[in-house]
Structure 1
Amino acid sequence: MTLGVVVLAAGQGTRMRSSLPKVLHPVAGLPLVEHVTRLADAVGAQQIVLVVSEDTLAPISAAFGHRYRYVVQHERLGTGHAVAQARAELEGKVDEVLVLYGADPLMRHESLLELLAVRRTTNAKAAIVSFQADPPTGYGRIVRDETGAVQAIVEERNASPEQRRITEVNQGVALYDGAWLWNALDQVQPNSLNGEYYLTDLVEIALHEHGLGAVAAIQLRDPDEALGVNDRIQLAQVGAILNARKIRALMLAGVTVVDPATTFVDHDVQVGMDTTLLPGTLLKGRTTIGANCMIGPNSLIEDSQIGDYCKISYSVVEQAQMDLGANIGPYGHLRRGAHLMEHVHMGNFGEVKNATLGAGTKMGHFSYVGDATIGENVNIGAGTITCNFTADGKKHHTEIGANAFIGSDSLLRAPVKIGAGAITGAGSVVTKDIPDGGVAVGMPARVIRHRKFEQSENE
């Protein structure tokens, strides 16, 4: 069967107190609504339609481009009215229509697969999702007969005292027979209190037309899946649940998480087996971490690729790459474009930006390397700075050849090239190129001699 999905994302989110549409608020590294659209993809949606408002169309379409279809709900007239806006996109094109909510990111795809299976097996016109609420205050109650068949959804304000004691309540997600849905929506009448059209009325219509069995239901095993976001308090609650799920999945896959309560890992992060995450670790974005690493404590890694056997201690890594066995910290900072090749060591309070450090290179503490290419087995002494931003207002490149030795407190004014095996004395200010094997000292540095050097000996 072909499946179309309608995601209700027109809410302004006034309780968020934000200029950002509610469904675009990030949680676990993704906008709320992207958790929902990925869920739709996971259960085989052939078409995903986002119902947005006039105000949210521009920011939501800017965030997702042409990945989805967008329809505008010009008036906020309830969930039934919202789904009706997707009619032109889905009627006659899909066999089933699944309705999801753009700020409800906790539903598991296993639950939706169960919903799909139940409706298809029973050939019900509608299949709904319920859960056990304690207390059930504020929810529509699921009324069943003695056989368990759904008889009605009764809103709390209309419920009898006996019905109010029912703890099985309506979650809101629903799946409909595509051929039946659109004509049934035409029969939904506006609510007498507020003039809005509600999807829940479809249950009564289905039962009236086709009798018991026309509406199927699944009950969530985990009530957390029913939670949605209306304010920032709930955003934090949902984030904590998603983080706990991610941490649990990592631990079951062979990752040691010393303190799950202080470790935060985004949805798309990947971590290899036998890696240890120490307290205070934050792994964000599309970060990948290899096997047998030691990460933390108190380290932030974002949108970076970390190889096997790496160590990161009390450090920040952003849009950077570390290869096999590289290590930094404590208190190191890899900025965008930094690349530490195999077995590079970067010590205390070091910083690298838009630069590659060759295999085996050691960068002492209190050093800054930016816009540079560093060869293999280079020693960068403490306090070394590549002065890449010069008086002409432009950034320039520094190149250091393999096996060079850069003395402590050397200042390398770019553009400059230091040859393989070259040496700078402590405190040198290098403004001109140094040839292979050259020894330069002073301020400005000058070459005082050439040492015997055969690059092949150390490669």
Structure 2
Amino acid sequence: MNATAIILAAGEGTRMKSNHAKVSHAILGKPMICWVVDAALGAGCERVVVVVGSHADEVRGIIDATYAGSQAVVECVEQAERLGTAHAVRIALEATGIDAGPVVVLNGDLPLIQPETIGNFANTVAAGDVAATVLSFKPQDLQGYGRIVLDTDGSLLRIVEQKDCTPEEAAIDECNAGCYAFDGAQLKAHIGEVGCDNAQHEYYLPDMLGILREAGERVASYCCEDYRDGLGVNSRSQLAELTAVARDRINERLMAEGVTFIDPAQAWIGPDATVGRDTVIWPQTHLIGTCVVGEDCALGPNTRLTNVRVGDRCSVDETVGIDVVLENDITCGPRAYLRPGTHVLDGAHIGTHVEIKKSTIGKGSKVPHLSYIGDTTMGAGVNIGAGSITCNYDGVNKHPTTIGDDTFIGSDTMMVAPVNIGSHAVTGAGGTITQDVPDGALAVERTEQRIIEGYSERKRARK
């Protein structure tokens, strides 16, 4: 489909009461604007133009960070002086040279719109017999929405705002969702005819419908199959409401694919996450970004994973993980913190109150409890005793630690990097290891223990 999407994202969003762009606010960890862009791309739009204005740098930064390395053609055009929706579309056309094919104009605060809806919407003008189509929907609450009034032949007659409705028009259940599809050539030819003779002195895109009708062109409406596609965000309350809808849609789909939710209302799975069958998701679990979870896993409770890959048969309990890879048959938690660059190999165990950063934990190795492992390459079959730390930071630079296969690190061992501990080695509990330890060696570092008899009795006597 040779279609273009123009996404309007220049508004202030004053009802959000925010220091940030409205479309930057996230739903399930993903900015609203990216939900709309992805839906347009998923519909087959070959080009997506985002019109930015208020907080332009912030929105442009989100777009650049998300799509810069992708194959998708997503670009930003700035509406420096915000003079209405038709003005925004005209700027987009002038900046990009769009003059043909279906052009869908979408709102950046419409995060629930689905690719199928956009694709069907664009197809209404693809054949050329319809010059423009309005996206409509049938919300459960009609209050505040403009009504779609159809002519006897089914074409669009007019849109009537709520305050201007007659009693008969107010009873119409088909409402304006505020999105438009145009034949690109007709849009290019007539967009300059939109005037600003109104109280706000702005150029309004709905005026295009009357202009096209007067030019003898046909205009129509396309009603969403799912009314929720037409719901927008104008307040924090609506943001929460649509987040719940998005959560339910995703969780329903995953359950249909064989994923178990202990309580679907208490699990927040982002739109870019995938979860394998027979995985069980416990309450208060969050999957943010591009998480990939395998089969037969147990996630949560109280777990938040961001851009994490989890293999099969893993248990991840009360864990925070960011930019991490967990291979197969891993047990992790409770109360573990896995920082970026962590790679845990098959069969390893990460225990309670453990923090790992930028480290490889070898196959079958164990970091059971109360330890910090940073900038470390660990072999297979290693056991890290409780309270052990790789001292990787000297106040200026980070330094690496290596630990060979089948090595036993005694409890409360401080490994002062850079240091290499060989395979099949042992460190005594309570040691501070500052020198390399050869394969098969025992490293013990302790001061001599002294026993002072009668100390407590003498101390009491002095008091």
Instruction: Please list every run of 5 or more consecutive structure 1 residues that lacks an aligned counterpart in the other structure.
Output: 446-459
Unaligned stretches of 5+ residues in structure 2: 449-463
- Secondary structure (helix, strand or coil) at the match of 1:119 reads coil
- Asked if the contact 2:43/2:115 (under 8 Å) is kept, the reply is yes
Pair 1:75-2:81 in alignment: yes
- The offset of 1:270, in angstroms, is 1.4
The reply to whether residue 177 of structure 1 matches residue 191 of structure 2 is: no
1:435 aligns with 2:461: no
**1:259 offset after TM fit, Å?**
0.7
Equivalent residue, structure 2, for 1:194 = 200
| Code of the aligned partner of 2:445 | G
Q: What SS class does the counterpart of residue 398 from structure 2 fall into?
A: coil
Q: TM-score, normalization: structure 2?
A: 0.90
Q: What code does the residue aligned with 2:207 have? A: D
Task: Note if contact 1:119-1:216 (Cα within 8 Å) is conserved in structure 2.
Answer: no
2:102–2:126: 8 Å Cα contact kept in structure 1? no
Provide the secondary structure at the position in 2 that maps to 1:364: strand
| Equivalent residue, structure 2, for 1:20 | 20
SS class of match (1:347): strand
- Which residue in 2 is equivalent to 1:364? 368
Partner Cα separation in structure 2 for residue 227 and residue 361 of structure 1:
50
Q: Does 1:406 align with 2:422?
A: no
- Counterpart secondary structure, 1:86: helix
What SS class does the counterpart of residue 123 from structure 1 fall into? coil
Report the secondary structure of 2:185's partner residue: helix
Equivalent pair of 1:430/1:443 in contact (CA under 8 Å): no
Query: How far has the Cα of 1:440 moved from its partner?
Result: 2.0
Tell me the CA shift for residue 40 of structure 1: 1.6
Distance 2:139 2:268 in 1: 28
Does the alignment pair 1:125 with 2:131?
A: yes
* Aligned partner of 2:347 among 340, 343, 361: 343
Name the counterpart of 2:455: none
Partner residue in 2 for 1:36:
36
SS in 2 for 1:105: coil
| Matching of residues 207-286 of structure 1 within 5 Å | 207-210=213-216, 214-286=218-290
Alpha-carbon distance change, 338 to 70 in structure 1, aligned in 2, over 3 angstroms: closer
Distance 1:68 1:110 in 2: 19
Match of 1:166 in 2: 172
**Following TM superposition, by how much is the alpha carbon of 1:376 offset from its aligned partner in structure 2, in angstroms?**
0.8
Deviation of 1:434 (Å): 1.4
> Contact (CA 8 Å) 1:418, 1:433: kept in 2 or not?
yes
| Paired residue type of 1:170 | N
Deviations 1:217-267 (A, max 9, x none): 211222211111122221112211111111112111111111111101111
The alpha carbon displacement at 1:384 in A equals: 1.5
SS across alignment from 2:376: strand
CA distance in 2, matches of 1:393, 1:10: 43
Distance 2:275 2:302 in 1: 17
Is 2:383 the counterpart of 1:384?
no
Counterpart of 2:146?
140
Report the number of matched residues.
Answer: 441
Other-structure match for 1:449: none
| Cα contact 2:296–2:313 (8 A) shared by 1 | yes
How far does residue 91 in structure 1 lie from its aligned partner after superposition? 4.7
Q: Does the CA contact (< 8 Å) of 2:102 and 2:123 recur in 1?
A: no
Kindly tell me: are residues 3 and 384 of structure 1, through their superposed partners in 2, closer, same or farther at Cα, counting changes over 3 Å? same
Identity across matched positions, percent = 38
Matched residue of 1:233: which SS? Answer: helix
Amino acid at match of 1:62: G
Q: Please, what is the CA RMSD of the aligned residues?
A: 2.0
* 274-283 or 109-118, which deviates more: 109-118
Q: Which residue of 1 is the match for residue 356 of structure 2?
A: 352
How far 1:78 moved relative to its partner? 1.9
- The answer to whether the 8 Å contact 1:135/1:167 transfers is no
TM-score (norm 1): 0.91
Residue from 294, 317, 327 that aligns with 2:321: 317
* Displacement after TM superposition at 1:315 (Å): 1.7
Q: Which of residues 97, 116, 121 is equivalent to 1:115? A: 121
User: Which residue does the alignment assign to 1:52?
Assistant: 52
Q: Letter of the aligned partner of 2:303 in structure 1?
A: S
The answer to whether the Cα contact below 8 Å between 1:276 and 1:294 also exists between their aligned partners in 2 is yes
- Structure 1 SS opposite 2:358: strand
SS of aligned partner of 1:85: helix
AA in 2 matched with 1:430: I
Contact 1:299 1:312 in 2 (8 A): yes
Q: Which amino acid aligns with 1:68?
A: V
**Distance in 1 separating the partners of 2:161 and 2:413:** 75
Q: Deviations over 1:371-393 (max 9, x none)?
A: 11111111111122212223x63
In 2, Cα distance between equivalents of 1:13 and 1:92? 28
Q: Return closer, same or farther for 1:377/1:69 CA change in 2, 3 Å cut-off.
A: closer
